[in-house]
Chain A
Amino acid sequence: MMVALMLSTLVFAGFFLFLGQFQKGSSDLGLLLERDSNLWLAPLLLSRWIAPTGNNRWDQPWPGVTVQPDLLELNSDSHGRDGFPDSQLDSSFEALQLRDSKSNLQIKSGHGSFQPVIKNVADLRFDSKRMPVITIRLEAATDRPPASFEGNLSHPVEFLVLLRNYRPNLFEETR
């Protein structure tokens, strides 16, 4: 009887102990996957926005690419009536600004306002040392600290986006 009582106590204690550890482990895995989904999305998403807007702008007579450590601004008059530049940056993909604000990667396109695109951004840096390749360093963090160990789960990624001058416009642009 005493042995059964002790063992049943052990079983209950072990059940709750292992259940707690499993819950912590699976919770931390969920944090990592959520953080990495932001990191894995960033190169694909940003390259599809940055490159089309910044192409044909680097080292050209007309300005359009401004790279600051915490702000990337791209302006390109690539679209207008009949497919030719019209000196109007109306289309959403003709004017682009990227920045880090309130732990969000925010993008402003066209005449709109800054909108959060990627959350939990710990750091965002732009570098133009290797132009025409823009170096983007993005560090993503988790929603909360890990449950099963002490430490920081922020993780960086550094990727490059090439701005090509492949299709000079037929006519000189006015802005």
Chain B
Amino acid sequence: MDKRELGFTLVEVLISLMLLIVATTSLFTGLGHAFHHYGLAQGRWKATIEVWNQIEVLRADPPATGTPLLILPHSRPLYRSIIRDSRALGKSGWEILIAEK
């Protein structure tokens, strides 16, 4: 029996080891990206629900308080209210103008 047919050579094994490392790294990097984007999507969804709930509370009981804004002379005064959006990262969020009932 030829000596080369007894098994893998060291070079062949090293090449397969290198391929295994590359493939494994790629697979786990891809899985890491998938989890990362899943986390981003979940964070955005939580922020959406927070905004959703703020809007429902605001619609149920609009707080017509604070300094009134008069868009036109003798018009109904409007009051500012802010919907806090955690996705805005410290920015003010959405400004809502509310008229008196």
Contacts and interface: CB of A to CB of B under 8 A. Distances in A.
B14 to A, nearest CB: 7
Interface in B36-71: 38, 42, 45, 49, 52-53, 56-57, 59-60
Given A18-B24, A22-B31, A29-B34, A159 B53 contact: yes
A157 interface: yes
A145 to B, nearest CB: 18
A164 to B, nearest CB: 7
Contacts of A161: 56
Q: Is the interface of A mostly helix, strand, loop or mixed?
A: helix
A4 B7 CA distance: 9
A133 B57 contact: yes
Interface in B2-23: 6-10, 12-14, 16-17, 20
Contacts of A159: 49, 52-53
Q: Is the interface of B mostly helix, strand, loop or mixed?
A: helix
A87 B10 CA distance: 87
Contacts of A133: 56-57, 60
User: Chain B interface: which size bin?
Assistant: 20 to 34
Contacts of A170: none
Looking at B6, B8, B14, B56, the one whose CB has the most chain A CB atoms below 10 A away is: B56
B20 A3 contact: no
Interface in A1-42: 1, 3-5, 7-8, 10-11, 14-15, 18, 22, 25-26, 29, 32-33, 36, 39-40
A40 B7 contact: no
A14 B34 contact: no
Given A18-B24, A29-B31, A32-B38, A7 B52 contact: no
Interface residues of A, number: 31
Contacts of B12: 4
Contacts of B59: 162, 164
Contact of B16 (A11, A43, A157): A11
Contacts of B42: 36
Looking at A11, A32, A133, A161, the one whose CB has the most chain B CB atoms below 10 A away is: A11
A162 B60 contact: yes
B45 A40 contact: yes
Contacts of A43: 49, 52
Contacts of A158: 49, 53
Interface of A: 1, 3-5, 7-8, 10-11, 14-15, 18, 22, 25-26, 29, 32-33, 36, 39-40, 43, 130, 132-133, 157-162, 164
6 contacts: A4-B7, A15-B20, A18-B27, A32-B38, A157-B49, A158-B49
